[in-house]
A and B are shown apart, each in its own frame.
Chain A
Amino acid sequence: MRFTTSTMDLMPLQASQPFDPSKYRYTGPNVQPRQLPNTRSQAPITTGTSVIGLQFDGGVMIAADKLGSYGSLARYQNIGRLMRVNDHVILGCTGDYADFQFLRDIIDQKMIDEECLDDGIVTRAPALHCWLTRVLYNRRSRFDPLWTTFVVGGLDDDGKPFLGFVDKLGTAYTAPQIVSGMGGHLATPLLREKMDGQPPLSEAAARELLIRCMTVCYYRDCRAFSKFQIATLKAGSIKIEDDLEVKGDWEVAHFSKEHA
């Protein structure tokens, strides 16, 4: 069983042949497949909490905080859970961070392969959402799930905003607002209240609503953290804002009675 690859193995014996980039393709982690049937699904170790996504007029916006929790310990306080897949897709991940990194590397390689094919076809959000669904469902069916929930955002082939949800069971759906994790219970009603039956939000209104939802999640989720990121995708541009922070209003603390 080989545990390491040396670049020497990839270089030609004489450097007289043309450089072949396919020899440097990332083929995935050097992990041997399980020999015995796996009858226990794993437990998540380092986890991320809610990811909140909403559509606005001309694009989508996704936010997630920067914490990796190790059980109840707020262990890694500067990790990004949002990802720019390519110029047309962004995604955020809840759940086990190792599983997210595993899929992130594979998605990155997929995008490189696509660049190399150079046939004008580009992966958009609905396609990536579909691919993720199949991958997660397949792992679930083998009782070896990737313990993650994804929020995928972008514009579809007609240029309309697209937001999709995929969880560790392979459950997938699309909606104008998608929230994974505990925020699903906290933020979804707030988003729907402002968006149902209304004309599409402007980008500024969407950002304000998103920050309000992150604040509520920070108040009410034990595994939330004050530092967060927002990724915004519009036709032709992706912007990821880092170093945002929920301050919160704690004036109500001064009104407490004896017991609480």
Chain B
Amino acid sequence: MMETVQQVTPSYAAPLPEWLSAEHDMGTTLVAAEFPGGVVIGADSRTSTGTYVANRVSNKITRITDSVYCCRSGSAADTQALADIVSYRMAMHEIEMGRPAAVRTVANTFREMCYQYRDDLMAGILCAGYDRTHGGQIYSLPIGGMMVRQKVASGGSGSTYIYGYLDSNYKPDFTAEQCVDFIRKGVSLAIHRDGSSGGVCRVAIITANGVERRTFTGDQLFVPQ
């Protein structure tokens, strides 16, 4: 019997760097947490194409309506397009209803599209905001198109490194400032370990009074000793 040995000749001389053809990907860290009176959401600022940092100061916290913001992870193109579409539809909705859109409505609009086009999209979204009926809410919309409300939510590649931190440090009765600190530290710890996260930490505090945005740079991030 003839035995044929299949010789696998490896070619490990890369003709071009992989990041020239890699998709713009927000390997990223997103965190959101509720406190009595509103929500705080935070994200890092690195957009990478493979291992190249295409944008080191990106803004992953995107306005959908005046009182609902979202954090985006996954394909930058997919999530930007989704956010634009949902923002447009909610603006129409607010005109028709004569009042601001509910957070759950915004999240559900996201979910409809994420689910219908689940095989074509790569989008992980945290949708968070404040409305008069239910106060501060966070809805997690991971890849695949499900939607679930959570008190503390995280997303992106960096989130895997801070599950322990988030689980052990969250308190439901944080003040706004304590919540910001909790988020800032979480994002910093993830940036410290995840190669796909980096740059600065951006947060948004959403309450009945509106939205306050902050950016923490350099030494304002928490760095473990």
Listed in ascending order, the chain A residues whose CB lies under 8 Å from chain B are 39-41, 69, 71-75, 143, 145, 168-169, 182, 185, 219-223, 247-248, 250-260
Whether the pair B193, A74 counts as a contact (CB closer than 8 A) is yes
A166 smallest CB distance to B (angstroms): 15
Verify if B218 is at the interface (C-beta below 8 Å from A).
yes
Q: Which of B52-60, B95-103, B139-147 is found at the contact surface with chain A? A: B52-60
With A221-B52, A221-B53, A247-B218 as given contacts, are A259 and B194 in contact (CB-CB < 8 Å)?
no
Query: Cβ of B83: which chain A residues have Cβ within 8 Å of it?
Result: 259
With A40-B10, A72-B195 as given contacts, are A258 and B63 in contact (CB-CB < 8 Å)?
yes
Whether the pair B53, A74 counts as a contact (CB closer than 8 A) is no
Query: Cβ of A74: which chain B residues have Cβ within 8 Å of it?
Result: 192-195
Whether the pair B62, A253 counts as a contact (CB closer than 8 A) is no
The complex places the Cα of A162 from the Cα of B29 at a distance, in Å, of 43
Query: Cβ of B60: which chain A residues have Cβ within 8 Å of it?
Result: 260
The complex places the Cα of A256 from the Cα of B46 at a distance, in Å, of 13
The complex places the Cα of A257 from the Cα of B27 at a distance, in Å, of 20
The complex places the Cα of A255 from the Cα of B58 at a distance, in Å, of 10
Verify if B198 is at the interface (C-beta below 8 Å from A).
yes
The complex places the Cα of A153 from the Cα of B141 at a distance, in Å, of 52
The complex places the Cα of A257 from the Cα of B55 at a distance, in Å, of 13
A250 nearest CB neighbor, chain B only = B217
Listed in ascending order, the chain B residues whose CB lies under 8 Å from chain A are 7-10, 12-13, 17, 27, 45-48, 50-53, 55-60, 62-63, 80, 83, 157, 161, 192-196, 198-200, 202, 215, 217-218
A43 nearest CB neighbor, chain B only = B12
B213 smallest CB distance to A (angstroms): 10
Whether the pair A222, B48 counts as a contact (CB closer than 8 A) is yes
B196 smallest CB distance to A (angstroms): 5
The complex places the Cα of A260 from the Cα of B83 at a distance, in Å, of 12
Whether the pair A72, B62 counts as a contact (CB closer than 8 A) is no
> Which of A75, A222, A256, A258 counts the most B-chain CB atoms under 10 A from its CB?
A222
Query: Cβ of A169: which chain B residues have Cβ within 8 Å of it?
Result: 13
The complex places the Cα of A256 from the Cα of B57 at a distance, in Å, of 7
Sample (20) of A-B pairs whose CB atoms are under 8 Å apart: A41-B12, A72-B27, A72-B157, A72-B196, A74-B193, A74-B195, A168-B12, A222-B27, A222-B46, A222-B50, A222-B53, A222-B198, A248-B218, A253-B202, A253-B215, A256-B58, A258-B59, A260-B47, A260-B57, A260-B59
Query: Cβ of B62: which chain A residues have Cβ within 8 Å of it?
Result: 258-259
A212 smallest CB distance to B (angstroms): 16
Whether the pair A260, B13 counts as a contact (CB closer than 8 A) is no
B46 smallest CB distance to A (angstroms): 7
Query: Cβ of A75: which chain B residues have Cβ within 8 Å of it?
Result: 193
Interface contacts beyond A39-B7, A72-B194: sample of 12 additional A-B pairs, CB < 8 Å, sorted by A: A72-B27, A72-B157, A220-B52, A221-B51, A221-B53, A222-B198, A250-B200, A251-B217, A253-B45, A254-B215, A258-B63, A260-B58
With A143-B10, A253-B215 as given contacts, are A182 and B194 in contact (CB-CB < 8 Å)?
no
With A221-B52, A259-B59 as given contacts, are A250 and B194 in contact (CB-CB < 8 Å)?
no
B167 smallest CB distance to A (angstroms): 19
Query: Cβ of A223: which chain B residues have Cβ within 8 Å of it?
Result: 51, 195
The complex places the Cα of A254 from the Cα of B201 at a distance, in Å, of 11
A120 smallest CB distance to B (angstroms): 41
Whether the pair B8, A73 counts as a contact (CB closer than 8 A) is no
Whether the pair B52, A73 counts as a contact (CB closer than 8 A) is no
The complex places the Cα of A72 from the Cα of B199 at a distance, in Å, of 16
